[in-house]
């Protein structure tokens, strides 16, 4: 499945607030579609599917990528749901977004793809790179790169930087000090339902 390039507000109306996908908000309150205003109780499968879709669209993953991440999370000791969120939150594109260097995760992905980002003084071109404690992230010392990020920083997607990250706004250098805590995950989601969804596949 290719990366989603359709109407983002339609997805937000169906799944709720997805801070990583878009900063825009819709004036329409009902779910999209002809029968969006009808109220019906969702099945257990529908609830699990919806939570899974929240992860997919917020972090911009293919179905295969999310399945691979779930399998990886299951191999790590601890709560599979928490480990899954930590893996997704520590991705390079999401880390740039959480630092306020881009308004959305797709914008952060574009910064990485176009070579604007350095990790430990080397150009990073892989959005799924897992940031680790001790990593330094900085913007290329080029006028185009810095002007673009400075523009993005005037319109941050989220107000607060998580406590495992720190940013020097003047030098545009950030540091990863630890692993994200569950309380700092911005997406409103029940990760246990996602784990249950894949356990029944």
Give the largest CA-CA distance in the chain: 54
**Residue 113: closest CA among 105, 121, 123, 125:** 125
147 pLDDT higher than 90: yes
Tell which wins on pLDDT, 38 or 190: 190
At 187, phi and psi to the nearest 5?
-75, 130
Same fold, 8-87+187-199 and 91-178: no
Average pLDDT over residues 94-98: 94
Q: Are 137 and 116 in contact (CB under 8 A)?
A: no
Question: Using CB atoms within 10 A of its CB, is residue 102 exposed (0-12), middle (13-18) or buried (19+)?
Answer: buried
Q: Where are the domains of the chain?
A: 8-87+187-199, 91-178
pLDDT at 127: 93
Q: What confidence category does residue 66 fall into, taking pLDDT thresholds of 50, 70 and 90?
A: very high
Tell which CATH architecture fits domain 91-178.
Roll (3.10)
Q: What is the domain class of 8-87+187-199 according to CATH?
A: mainly alpha
pLDDT at 1: 38
């Amino acid at each position: 499945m290719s990366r989603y390039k359709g109407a983002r507000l339609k997805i937000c109306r169906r799944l709720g607030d997805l801070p990583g996908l878009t900063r825009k908000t819709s004036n329409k309150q009902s779910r999209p579609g002809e029968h969006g205003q009808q109220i019906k109780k969702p099945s257990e499968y529908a609830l699990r599917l919806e939570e899974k879709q929240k992860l997919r669209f917020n972090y911009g993953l293919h179905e295969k990528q999310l399945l691979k991440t779930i399998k990886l999370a299951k191999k790590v000791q601890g709560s599979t749901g928490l480990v899954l969120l930590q893996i997704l939150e520590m991705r390079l594109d999401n880390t740039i977004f959480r630092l306020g260097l881009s308004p959305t995760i797709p914008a952060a992905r574009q910064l990485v793809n176009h070579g604007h980002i350095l990790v430990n003084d080397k150009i990073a071109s892989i959005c799924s790179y897992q940031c680790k404690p001790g990593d330094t992230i900085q913007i290329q010392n080029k006028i185009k790169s810095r002007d673009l990020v400075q523009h993005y920083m005037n319109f941050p997607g989220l107000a607060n930087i998580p406590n495992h990250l720190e940013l020097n706004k003047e030098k545009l250098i950030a540091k990863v000090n630890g692993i994200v805590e569950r309380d700092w995950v911005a997406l409103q989601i029940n990760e246990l339902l996602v784990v249950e969804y894949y356990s029944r596949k």
